[in-house]
Structure formats: C-alpha cells, structure tokens
Chains A and B, each alone.
Chain A
Amino acid sequence: MDDQFQEDWLDTRLREEAPYIDDAGFTAKVIQQLPVRRARSFRAAIIFCITVLGSAITYSVSDGGKFMIAAVNRLASMPILFVCLIAICCGLVMTAIATGAALSKVRERTLG
C-alpha cells in the first residue's frame, strides 16, 4: 500500500516537475528547414511526356511497329512447352520483384 502510494507520488511529481519548454522560435526553425516537395501532378506530367515521347520514337524507328508482328510470328512457331516455360519464368521473376518490394515497404512502415 505504502509502496503504491510512493510510486503514485513519484509519478505525479515527475509529471508536475517536467518544465514546459517555451517554443522560442523552435517551430519556425524546423519549418524553414523542411524540404520542398515537387507537386505530384508535375511528376506525373513528366512521366507521361517521357512515355509518349519514348513510344513515338520506338514506333517511327521500328517501321510502324512491324517488329511486334515478327515477334508474335516467331513465338507462334515455337514448341508449346517452350512457350509455357517462358511464361512460368516471367511469372516467377515478377513474383520475386513484388515480394521484394512488399518486404521493403513493411520494413519502412515498422517505424509508424
């Protein structure tokens, strides 16, 4: 009983004696140092423009995308087992990348 009373008394004193620290320009200093973030819309516009430009260049250089037709024809002439193998390999690579990305996100989030 006495121990409990002493603990409560100690906790109360610890809370009461913690001085309030006046801001005195602290917040202003922090805000001054905040990094400026680029607007998300600006970033999205850059990515969109680069994508359109890249597609246009590829289309014109590849003679109207004829390489795609050639690639599909080549794939169609391959044995079915080989095509399945390629599809499975692609699936495994994508799963590994997605797992890695998810794990890094979890590690990053453990802070909050």
Chain B
Amino acid sequence: MSLTDADLVARVLLNDDHHAFAELVRRHQSSVRGLLRQLTRTDVALADDLGQETFLRAYKNIRSFRGEARFSTWLYRIAYNCFREEARKRKELVGIDEPQLEAEPDPQSVDPALKHDLMHALQLLPLHERSAILLCCQNGLSHNEAARVLDIPLGTVKTNVLRGREKLKKLLAAWGSN
C-alpha cells in the first residue's frame, strides 16, 4: 500500500525522514518542473534550478504546511513565488506584448514542426494568462486553488483562463488553416 502525501509529510515532520521527502520530490518533480519550464519559456536549466529551490524551500517550511490545501498546490505556490522572485531579479516578468499577440501570427515565422503544437502556442500567451491556463487546465487546479497559488482575486483568474483559452483557440485555428 503506497503512502499518501500527508503520510509522507507527517514522517518528515516527526522524524526528519529524508527518504519520505525524497518520495515526495519524486512524485511531484515532473509537474513542478513542467510548470516552471512553461513559465520560463522552456529555459530548462533555469527551470530546474528553480525546481530545486522550490523543493528546498518546501523542506525548510514544511511545518507551515497545514494540510488544508493539496501538497501539490502548496508546491505550485512556492514554485510560482520562486519564479516571480527570479523574474523580478532579471526584470523579465512581463510576457510577450499584447499587440504582438493580437497581430495575426505570420505563418512563415512558425516552424512547420511546431504547427498544431499546443505547448508552443501556450508560450505565446502573456504570463498572467499562461500561468492561469497551466494551473487550471493543465494541472487540474480549481479556480480557487489557482487564485491562492497566484495570489490574485478569483475573478481575475477566471478572466485570465477565459482570455487565454480564446487566444489559444485563435492561434491553433490560424495555424490549422495554413
């Protein structure tokens, strides 16, 4: 019988069990690193550094995890905070400009191999819409959970998801017609 995340967290808290924490890292590394790769626009090295920072912070602050949210949601929040701090340092927090996105995508500028590539289209979204789409649509968080992770109002999350979806549909339709 496999242990739940809550069981593993309890082991880390009670016995400082590194094996239990390693199991938590193994379970969640793919989704956390995947989220960070999308947020950093596939800068794999940076995303993995932030991923390590995320898990180290989780370990140091594990006493503040009360179990009200899912462990993965708590990790996403730490990961997003790590990303924001790094982006603030690098002054790269702003995603692609709105006018750039509103413009018709130039078919010549898109690598044919990437046409219909949803992951590629996702990277063309501005950061606030991309992060909302990633959390709600890809990682299955509710709007409420995403609002907590992103530290923004619930209504803003819903708007960002809606707009992000519309833009993705538009991009995929434009590529599909070529």
Contact = CB atoms under 8 A, between A and B. Distances in A.
Contacts, number: 82
A13 interface: yes
A21 B64 contact: no
A37 to B, nearest CB: 5
B145 to A, nearest CB: 13
Interface stretch (A23-31, A69-77, A86-94): A23-31
Interface stretch (A4-12, A53-61, A95-103): A4-12
A34 B16 CA distance: 11
B90 interface: no
A11 B137 contact: yes
B156 to A, nearest CB: 19
A64 interface: no
A14 B137 contact: yes
A111 B16 CA distance: 20
Chain B interface residue number, banded:
35 or more
A34 B56 contact: yes
A14 B138 contact: yes
A95 to B, nearest CB: 25
B69 A112 contact: yes
B65 A31 contact: no
B72 interface: no
Contact of A111 (B25, B74, B119): B74
Contact of A29 (B18, B52, B64): B52
Nearest to A108: B64
A108 to B, nearest CB: 5
Nearest to A21: B30
Interface of A: 6-7, 10-11, 13-15, 17-23, 26-27, 29-31, 33-35, 37, 108-109, 111-112
Interface of B: 16, 18, 21-22, 25-26, 29-30, 33-34, 37, 48, 51-52, 55-56, 59-61, 64-69, 74, 77-78, 117-119, 122, 133, 137-138, 140, 165, 168-169
17 contacts: A10-B118, A10-B165, A11-B138, A21-B29, A22-B30, A23-B26, A26-B29, A30-B22, A31-B25, A34-B18, A34-B21, A34-B56, A109-B64, A109-B66, A111-B64, A111-B74, A112-B67
